[in-house]
């Protein structure tokens, strides 16, 4: 555990709350929380505080990435946790203050070992941890829509298999992607919606909601409503690993665009989804139902070359990752959350306030963190990112700790 840092004061900020823009704001961060926020004359600055002048810069809630496989040559499925701190530093340098380590399907023993490693890592790290749980992208997917995932690694769905997975990961499993049309998947959805797990810090069972998301699926349009009734509340990397929209068979895409209950992830790199389609998504789903995610792989932050993903060779060319044996298939991305935010502002026509909500608050909502994160206000956790006027990261603060700084203090 890290000792509590001395209070931080961000002065002369343009605060993106994200519901409004407050000029000349002062924020006091102490004991892991935002303890004061307002105009300079309305705020009492602690005598021992570190003051940081952010004039001309934007202060936003820290980014929350619920779908990432790794970066800086490391993957969350690696056989050791040695690279997890490096992944976290990479994320922090791009404004991410919370991330879910995303795991693709693997044979059972390897899958469980991977989940156990991530759980131990999360339990061992302190309040400034970036990795705060897991998103299981599977293992209950449709093998006819695998994307870059190995078909032979995908599991049949059953409630019994789901419960064994949860026994290993416990409350650190916060999200799961599945294909609701495969046999047994509706049973998994119901079990996940009613799941109770034991939180290690309180030692007793309580309701632990999982964010359940449809992905790698060939579900019929009519099955979407049934899945929602059984606990589905999200869509994994919309437009990817699903059939395109057809006017006679609307399928997964038609259902997810129309159903207001569903939050949708989007990989906003202008590669996985064309800028015009990003504009369409923003118009149809609105900014309060879109989650920016990276789906980054170990090649993120690395030079072009050959990398591994899910036991398959990936070629990185001009920052774009493709399967070596199927070069028409994208294999994750090298996207970062700050670039996703800039893409939505520059190419999709989002305001900075809207983009900030898509990069933070919406993820906080689906993870049941909405009273803790995603908003700049007194009492919220001190997870903050400072962007310059070109929307590049200058400072990342997690639980009141400075975890990345673009330049040293003068």
Active-site residue numbers?
A: 295
- Residue 54 CA from chain centroid, whole number: 26
d(CA 268, CA 281): 11
Q: Which residues contact 134 (CB under 8 A, 6 or more apart)?
A: 100, 101, 102, 103, 115, 118, 119, 169, 172, 173, 174, 175
d(CA 128, CA 34): 15
Give the CA distances from residue 290 to residues 267, 283, 336, in Å, rounded to whole numbers and listed in that order: 10, 11, 16
d(CA 35, CA 27): 8
Pure H helices in 125-241 = 159-169, 185-193, 221-229
Task: Record the tokens describing residue 116, joined without a space.
Answer: 């156990």
Are 50 and 4 in contact, with CB atoms under 8 Å apart? no
- Is residue 289 classed as helix, strand or coil in its secondary structure? helix
d(CA 73, CA 70): 8
Task: Record the tokens describing residue 203, joined without a space.
Answer: 């030692």
């Amino acid at each position: 555990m890290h000792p509590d840092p001395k209070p931080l004061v961000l002065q002369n900020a343009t605060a993106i709350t994200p519901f409004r823009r407050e000029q000349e704001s002062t924020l006091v961060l102490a004991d892991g929380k935002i303890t004061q926020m307002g105009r300079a004359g309305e705020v009492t600055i602690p005598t021992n505080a570190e003051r940081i002048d952010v004039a001309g810069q934007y202060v936003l809630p820290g980014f929350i990435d619920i779908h990432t496989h790794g970066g800086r040559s490391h993957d969350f499925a690696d056989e050791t946790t040695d690279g997890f701190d490096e992944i976290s530093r990479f994320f922090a340098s791009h404004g991410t203050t919370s991330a879910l380590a995303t795991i693709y399907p693997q044979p059972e023993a390897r899958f469980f070992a991977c989940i156990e490693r991530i759980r131990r890592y999360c339990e061992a790290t302190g309040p400034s941890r970036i990795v705060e749980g897991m998103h299981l992208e599977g293992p209950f997917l449709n093998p006819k829509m695998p994307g870059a995932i190995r078909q032979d690694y995908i599991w049949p769905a059953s409630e019994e298999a789901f419960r064994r997975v949860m026994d290993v990961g416990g409350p650190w499993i916060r999200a799961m992607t599945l294909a609701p049309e495969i046999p047994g998947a509706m049973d998994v959805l119901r079990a996940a919606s009613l799941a109770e797990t034991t939180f290690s810090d309180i030692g007793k069972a309580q309701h632990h909601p999982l964010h359940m998301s449809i992905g790698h699926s060939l579900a019929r349009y009519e099955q979407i409503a049934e899945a929602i009734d059984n606990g589905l509340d999200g869509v994994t990397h919309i437009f990817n690993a699903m059939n395109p929209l057809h006017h006679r068979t609307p399928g997964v895409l038609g259902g997810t665009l129309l159903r207001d209950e569903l939050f949708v992830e989007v990989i906003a790199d202008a590669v996985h989804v064309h800028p015009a389609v990003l504009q369409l998504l923003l118009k149809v789903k609105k900014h309060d139902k879109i989650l920016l995610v990276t789906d980054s792989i170990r090649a993120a932050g690395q030079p072009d070359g050959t990398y591994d993903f899910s036991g398959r060779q990936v070629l990185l060319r001009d920052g774009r990752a493709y399967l070596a044996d199927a070069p028409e298939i994208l294999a994750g991305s090298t996207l970062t959350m700050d670039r996703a935010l800039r893409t939505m502002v520059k190419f999709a026509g989002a305001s900075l306030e809207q983009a900030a909500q898509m990069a933070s608050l919406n993820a906080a909502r689906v993870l049941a963190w909405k009273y803790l994160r995603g908003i700049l206000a007194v009492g919220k956790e001190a997870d903050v990112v400072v962007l310059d006027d070109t929307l590049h990261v200058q400072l990342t603060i997690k639980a009141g700790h400075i975890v990345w700084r673009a330049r040293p203090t003068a």
